[in-house]
């Protein structure tokens, strides 16, 4: 997490010496005290919100459990809204980034694709979300999507490259595809159905568990960046 540094006005070597000693004392005190809980906001859509699932089976609850099992002192905040587009995320990112938020997972874009929204529009919205996170000084993890060619190869390429380009521009880690763990588990669409809810679109508890176990180490990296 970025820190704000104030300007130090020097009044000679003695002042700098005392300032150095004070800084060392603060670092020693901080290091000996118990680390504060890292709070992560998961900004997303139905995949983040846990659509169709018991609260305990959703992405945020399972991710919270996974992180706790790894010994991480983390609180994951569910900032997912079912049906949300990147525009929706953009409209609420400012009030999502409350002062207690240390990091943010940005997992949006699936509904943009389903609606055939212009990839440039999606890019602009994601850009604004990441800019807000940067302005707030929080660490971020961008989550991409591997989409189909329903709207043509050019659309597919432009849509997927949005995430790659923005991750590079903001120097962020990019988890390539929210559903990659499920795809890797079962390349056969028929078998993939065993990991989905009855709607054939949203992951069931087993599918969510696969997603969490795969993205979990990335989130641990996010926690480490904050600490």
Q: Which of 84, 112, 122, 202 is catalytic?
A: 202
What is d(CA 39, CA 203) in angstroms, rounded to the nearest whole number? 25
Helix axes 153-170, 119-136, angle to 10 degrees: 10
DSSP string, 94-111: HHHS-TT--EEEEE--HH
Please tell me which residue in 32, 33, 171, 199 is annotated as part of the active site: 199
Active-site annotation holder among 46, 84, 102, 177 = 46
**Does 46 participate in catalysis according to the annotation?**
yes
What is the enclosing helix (H) or strand (E) of 207?
A: helix 205-226
CB 104 within 8 A of CB 43: yes
Let me know if 112 is a catalytic residue.
Answer: no
199 tagged catalytic: yes
The label of the residue with tokens 């609260």 reads: 55
Q: Which residues are catalytic?
A: 46, 199, 202
């Amino acid at each position: 997490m970025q820190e704000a540094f104030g300007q130090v006005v020097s009044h000679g070597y003695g002042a700098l010496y005392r300032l150095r000693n004070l800084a060392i004392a603060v670092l020693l005190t901080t290091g000996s005290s118990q680390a504060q809980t890292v709070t992560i906001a998961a900004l997303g859509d139905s995949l983040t919100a846990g659509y169709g699932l018991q609260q305990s089976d959703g992405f945020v609850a399972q991710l919270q459990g996974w992180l706790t099992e790894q010994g991480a002192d983390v609180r994951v905040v569910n900032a997912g809204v079912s049906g949300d587009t990147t525009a929706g995320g953009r409209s609420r990112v400012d009030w999502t980034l409350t002062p207690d938020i240390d990091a943010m997972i940005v997992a949006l874009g699936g509904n943009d694709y389903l609606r055939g929204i212009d990839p440039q529009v999606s890019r602009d919205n994601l850009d604004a979300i990441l800019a807000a996170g940067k302005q707030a000084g929080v660490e971020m993890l961008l989550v991409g999507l591997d989409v189909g060619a329903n709207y043509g190869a050019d659309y597919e390429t432009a849509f997927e490259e949005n995430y790659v380009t923005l991750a590079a521009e903001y120097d962020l880690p990019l988890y390539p595809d929210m559903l990659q763990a499920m795809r890797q588990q079962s390349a056969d669409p028929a078998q993939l159905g065993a990991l989905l809810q009855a709607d054939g679109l949203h992951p069931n508890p087993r599918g969510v568990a696969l997603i969490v176990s795969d993205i979990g180490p990335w989130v641990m990296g996010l926690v480490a960046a904050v600490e």
